[in-house]
Amino acid sequence: MKRKLKTGLVVAFIAALLWLFIRPDYRQGEASMRGRPAKDFQFTMDGKPETLASLRGKVVILNFWATWCPPCVDETPSLIQLQKHIAPLGGTILGVSLDDDASAYAEFLKTYHIDFPTFRDPTKKSALDYGTTMYPETYIIDRNGRIDRKIIGPQDWTGPQMMAYLDSVLDQK
């Protein structure tokens, strides 16, 4: 009897897994976001209202991050170096912190000497509008306001392959 019960549970588990994978709403991967218009949103920078659309004409590295996210912290030094490289070429990083704690956010900016534009969105609305589920998550937005690439997870933003890719996006007019 015990053996039949175990076999029945295993078969039920396998059937449930199959059902989950067969369902039409199961995402086996997203369609490429390349070429889609970047979703505009408002934010406050240095006390002034801004929009993502106001950065059109620049290549924007839109980075969703948080102070409590170890991979976000790990990639911060390379983002700082990247900003130094892309700013003279018509690019910018726009960091969106999803921190609830304003003091932790302010302390992080001070400790790591963040010199690229960043703001805090405790509502997480901008990240949700982009479908962001993991941090860090980054969108490369071309000069025309279209998404060129979505990158999930931490990166070495100054690595040779990444720099070659970003330079190619920056060279596009």
Q: Sorting pLDDT into bands at 50, 70 and 90, what band is 27?
A: very low
Flag whether pLDDT at 111 surpasses 80.
yes
Are the CB atoms for 115 and 83 separated by under 8 Å?
Answer: yes
Work out the mean pLDDT of the chain and round it to a whole number: 89
Q: How many domains does the chain have?
A: 1
Is 81 a domain residue? Answer: yes
Which structure tokens are listed for 22? 């067969």
Q: What is the pLDDT of residue 51?
A: 95
Which structure tokens are listed for 156? 């070495």
Is 106 a domain residue? Answer: yes
Three-class DSSP category at 89: helix
Instruction: State the Cα–Cα distance between residues 8 and 6, nearest whole angstrom.
Output: 5
Which structure tokens are listed for 15? 């059937």
Stretch 113-127: mean pLDDT: 94
Q: What is the pLDDT of residue 138?
A: 96
Instruction: State the Cα–Cα distance between residues 95 and 62, nearest whole angstrom.
Output: 6
Q: What is the pLDDT of residue 18?
A: 60
Domain containing residue 55: 41-171
Instruction: State the Cα–Cα distance between residues 79 and 84, nearest whole angstrom.
Output: 9
The enclosing H or E element of 44 equals strand 42-45
Q: What is the pLDDT of residue 5?
A: 76
Is 35 a domain residue? Answer: no
Instruction: State the Cα–Cα distance between residues 32 and 124, nearest whole angstrom.
Output: 23
For the packed helices 160-171 and 70-86, what is the interaxial angle rounded to 10 degrees?
A: 50
Beta bridge partners of 144: none
Percent of the chain whose pLDDT exceeds 70 = 90
Q: The CATH number of the domain where 124 resides is what?
A: 3.40.30.10
Q: Sorting pLDDT into bands at 50, 70 and 90, what band is 22?
A: low
Tens digit of each residue's pLDDT (9 = 90 or more) over 58-107:
999 999 999 999 999 999 999 999 999 999 999 999 999 999 999 999 99
Is 3 a domain residue? Answer: no
